Structure 1
Amino acid sequence: MLRTIMSVEKALLNRKTVRAFKPDPVPKALIEELVEIANRAPSNGNLQPWRVIALSGESLEVLKTKAVQKLQQDGFEQPEYQVYVSPMPEPYRSHRFAVGEALYKTIGVAREDKAGRQAQFAKNAELFGAPLGLFFYIDRRLGPGQWMDLGMYIQSLMLLLEERGLSSCAQGYWSFLHETVTSVTEASTEWMLACGLAVGYEDKEAFINSLESSRQPLGEFFHLKE
């Protein structure tokens, strides 16, 4: 039976960050296929500097339990790289503020409701209910060029997931629990955790998934000189 292939344009326009997943498992053969296809992503010098470790089932539950325990006992770990610069300059600060406000608006959590916001943020540790977590590592001896390569790999994979009816949520969150993650993935000490990716099927009835984040107008980031 022939499979209808989604265009790259449609995959880009359809893809969004999903923060509520169905518990339905992702077939092992499917995720292996897509992870391998994404390996065609470009990289400087064809270094292919990415390593991907997937957790599901019991292994994922172990991670969730460890993450909650770590947060309750000690709080976050010291990240190995700076996720956000501080202070955040404009216009980036405004972009981040706007999407945060729009996100909490979808679930009726007011700005002054700190408990409500913390409760939603805590769902990161559960991968928002996703049945599969992918964790991306990079050789810690490499530099910014290879981090760019890793980003292209992750984006390629996210578009492939969209094309096959799967949703995802990229989580820099896990960089603040990198030791906890590595205690489960058992990645080599030569590899640094870059981020996680929650993968599964979108819960289309969850209000939080109705968020459509804004994008800046073309004229603000693109200039053509002839």
Structure 2
Amino acid sequence: MIRLYDYYRSSASYRVRIALNLKGLDYERVAVNLLDNGQKSDEYRARNPQGFVPMLEIDGAQLTQSLSIVNYLNCVYPDPPLAPADPVAAAHVRAMAQVVASDIHPLNNLRVLNYVTDVMGHDKETRARWYAHWVHEGFEALEQLAIRHGGAYLSGDLPGLADLCLVPQIYNARRFDIALDAYPTLVDYDARANALPAFQAAHPDQID
């Protein structure tokens, strides 16, 4: 049994759901409600000391951090691959994924946004400007990388690592009313990926 602990709107969890779907793997989903601080419960922290989602229980292991989980899945279940075989092309795909996973998302996840308002005392307008600034800074660079290195999908000939990072970030940007007009290449790649069943099934609106 593969068991995924996740929150339906968590970008990191959304990435892993897409990866599991692309690999054709059946899994049981265990909801962890971030709004109720379910990730901070003693029961959950006993499994994942960091208290983040997602966490994947698979093959007797408890795996954390979304890109580490995706890498494991790609190693153990290599077909279809989530990155090109060519080392240079694969490096570009990983770099585009990291623009989202390392540069945009960590500054805009729920715990950081709550800290901006609840601890630092900033108002909702300042919080919104903070969110928008980091999305635009990351997307400006990613748009150019996509033009240079994208193929049929952002990850190349097949949907993969860069796409499964892009799609949740575009979803969140739209939730927060971020204008995407300056990023037509990213919007196009998002639409291409979201036309695929693996991405559709992972969408937060499809999660109970």
The reply to whether TM is greater than 0.5 is no
Task: With a CA cutoff of 8 Å and minimum separation of 6, indicate the structure with the bigger relative contact order.
Answer: 1
Please say which structure displays the higher CA radius of gyration. 1
Q: Which has the higher helix share?
A: 2
TM-score category (smaller protein): under 0.3
